[in-house]
Amino acid sequence: MSSDPNALAEKLLDAQVEFVIAELTGDRFEDVIRRDVADVLGVADTLIVGEVVDRAHVKETAHRVVDKIGGSDIVTEMVEAIAEAIYDLAESDEYSLGDVVDREPVAALIEQFLAMHTLHNRALERLTESPLVATVASSFVNKIVADFMAANRARAEKVPGMSRVLKAGSSAASKVRSAGDRHLEGFIGDVAGRGAQFALRRTNNAIKELIHDAPLHDAAMELWDLHADEPVSVLREYLSKQELREVVMIVLDIVESGRNKEYFGHVVEACIDVFFDRYGEFTVAALLPELGLTGDDIVTELITFAPPVIEAAKENGVLASQIRARLAPFFTSEQTLELLASAQAD
């Protein structure tokens, strides 16, 4: 055996590298993963979340992630591409809407929304503060009245002699309106303004009565049932791919425009506080069941995804070189060489 401590250290390093590679590949890998996961979870079961993770540091990290990753090109490209991929998904022809979404939660959501009377009333009250909305409501009501009058006029004209009477009345009314236009402009403007607000209040009241009293829940569920047995692909009839792309990008723009605002930062911090208030006293291992995971789940995923990556790194030599680079400082350290020299001397 060589008496050179450096040569001996090199041989020990080679043996250690081979041992680690054998641990990470082949038949031993699964046993190693199960052993290491169990060891890690054993340690995690002794660590309290609130004691080993500082919520202030988590908040700082969250801000950085939102700021840097939230506006990255990959997010924009992936969101648009995913939306288009889902739109063209071939399996949408194989599954009905009822297969994808259960009827019960849809019914519960509609019932809950219709029961939120405070929301409805407040939203309608705020609408009355908008002159433009009042004008739209007035036009809506006027359209209904005009259509009603036109329908009745059409019926009346079918009565013999009534057509001449209606024509004479319209001519007289036209002359009166023309003669008084200059004097009535101010009055009509005031009446129009009040009429718009009146129309809006009437519209709001009608909407409230419709929500509170009408069988909207049954009507909405009937509409759902009409679509539930149809393929999911039928939903494409409601919007084109281009329209979907534009809607998705607009929503993404809204999200990105708000993510850097100070208020959004407070929202992120509030969410983190909720997590720590709820789970801060849990052990790290106890969080797994809360997430619906077990140690076996972690082992399964590692066994599934890790081997191909490790095997590729082994084949191109990267794995051995990386292991060697991390172990070499120990074997070539002055202390290790002195120990080896001392052992050989003995």
In this predicted structure, what is the pLDDT of residue 179? 46
Residue 114: name the closest of 253, 3, 208 by CA: 208
Q: What is the mean pLDDT of residues 38-61?
A: 93
Burial group, residue 9, by CB count within 10 angstroms (0-12, 13-18, 19+)? buried
Taking the domains of the chain in order of start, what are their residue ranges?
5-91+241-345, 98-230
Residue 312 — pLDDT band, cuts 50, 70, 90?
very high
Burial group, residue 203, by CB count within 10 angstroms (0-12, 13-18, 19+)? buried
Distance CA(197)–CA(185), nearest Å, equals: 19
What average pLDDT does the chain have? 82
Region of poorest pLDDT, from 18-22, 40-44, 186-190: 186-190
Q: Both tokens of residue 13?
A: 């390093």
DSSP states of 119-175 as a string?
Answer: HHHHHHHHHTT-HHHHHHHHHHHHHHHHHHHHHHHHHHTTSTTHHHHHHHHHHHHHH
pLDDT digits (tens, 9 = 90+) for 152-193: 666 655 656 545 544 554 554 454 445 444 444 444 445 455
In this predicted structure, what is the pLDDT of residue 173? 44
Whether the CB-CB separation of 21 and 252 falls below 8 Å is answered with: no
Residue 184: name the closest of 195, 176, 194 by CA: 176
Residue 41 — pLDDT band, cuts 50, 70, 90?
very high
Residue 17: name the closest of 332, 335, 328, 336 by CA: 328
Distance CA(79)–CA(107), nearest Å, equals: 30
Residue 203: name the closest of 138, 130, 123 by CA: 138
In this predicted structure, what is the pLDDT of residue 210? 75
Residue 273 — pLDDT band, cuts 50, 70, 90?
very high
Residue 9 — pLDDT band, cuts 50, 70, 90?
very high
Distance CA(14)–CA(26), nearest Å, equals: 19
Bridge partners of 231, per DSSP, are 96
Q: Which residues contact 4 (CB under 8 A, 6 or more apart)?
A: none
Q: What is the pTM of this model?
A: 0.69
Residue 235: name the closest of 104, 105, 86, 108 by CA: 86
Q: Which residue has the higher pLDDT, 304 or 188?
A: 304
Helices 117-127 and 162-213 cross at an angle (nearest 10°) of 140
In this predicted structure, what is the pLDDT of residue 193? 54
pLDDT digits (tens, 9 = 90+) for 100-149: 999 999 999 999 998 998 888 888 888 777 777 777 766 766 666 666 66
Q: Which residues contact 314 (CB under 8 A, 6 or more apart)?
A: 21, 24, 25, 320
Burial group, residue 319, by CB count within 10 angstroms (0-12, 13-18, 19+)? buried
